[in-house]
Amino acid sequence: MSSSKATFGNFELYTIETGDFKLDGGAMFGVVPKTLWSRGITADDKNRIPMTMRCLLIRSEATGRIYLIDNGVGTKFDDKMSKIYQVDFSTKELLSSLKEHGFTPDDITDIIFTHLHFDHCGGTTYFDENGKLQHTFPNATYHVTRKHWETAIAPNAREKASFLAENIGPLMETERLNLVGDPVEYEKGLTSVVVNGHTLGQQLPKIDHGGRSLVFTADLLPTHVHVPLPWVMGYDMYPAQTLEEKKEFMDRAADENWFLYLEHDIQQEIIQIERDDHKYKVSNTLTLNEL
């Protein structure tokens, strides 16, 4: 396993690879026909596409804080769930990735959750040898938008399967949960863009320095194949709202040459986009090392 790192203003950035998994290709692309999306990503015999869970660690030189954005699916799945989602830790794993960059779970001061679907927050806790849930990051404050927290603890029937009790319960019980508003500023140069189409209150962390911006796109833009505006996931709770938010986001990303950090793209880590005859296309691909 080899992860990337970069310096971005007062921030040191580290790619944290937490594992691979698979999701249904049709669900990942909604109403887009397979004949179109399969040109960019290949499905297996069960129509599942390969995805990764690529998180981002941010060390602030200004404050000394060490932020981790999301933490993957974790290790709490039983054999049945692991098989369904084809969870693979053979080459990528949360603790190993942290160690590769010289960090331990105890070092993390803040965890910024984009949202609390199981593939974004499962690594927060683990089962010990007695089957008891333990917190992986004992010194971290957990940051979730208030709007999303209210959704996670009382989800609708369609979204309920994404919020697992073993993930949400320990957050409800801890005193280290910090509910943030909209907009969010964690410190100078580190903010979040909040969007509500995929799930209410999803936050996309944004790092700014010297006129350049890096945005952690989470599930607004899960892969580079999702760049076309109408290519919206079937998993989105409010797809029409996603369309509006995505257009505004993509316009800014193209106008301001944002670097877009892709959480789920197994092929590309960071992309930039441009307009092409009122549409969008990838103009550049790179890794954190090349930022």
Per residue of the chain (291 residues), give pLDDT as tens.
456 899 999 999 999 999 999 999 999 999 999 999 999 999 999 999 999 999 999 999 999 999 999 999 999 999 999 999 999 999 999 999 999 999 999 999 999 999 999 999 999 999 999 999 999 999 999 999 999 999 999 999 999 999 999 999 999 999 999 999 998 999 999 999 999 999 999 999 999 999 999 999 999 999 999 999 999 999 999 999 999 999 999 999 999 999 999 999 999 999 999 998 889 999 999 999 999
Q: Which two tokens stand for residue 220?
A: 């607004």
Which range marks the domain in which residue 204 is found?
A: 5-290
What is the pTM (predicted TM-score) of this model? 0.97
Question: What CATH number did the domain enclosing 237 receive?
Answer: 3.60.15.10
Q: Which residues contact 200 (CB under 8 A, 6 or more apart)?
A: 147, 148, 150, 151, 237
Helix, coil or strand: residue 19: strand
Domain count, the chain: 1
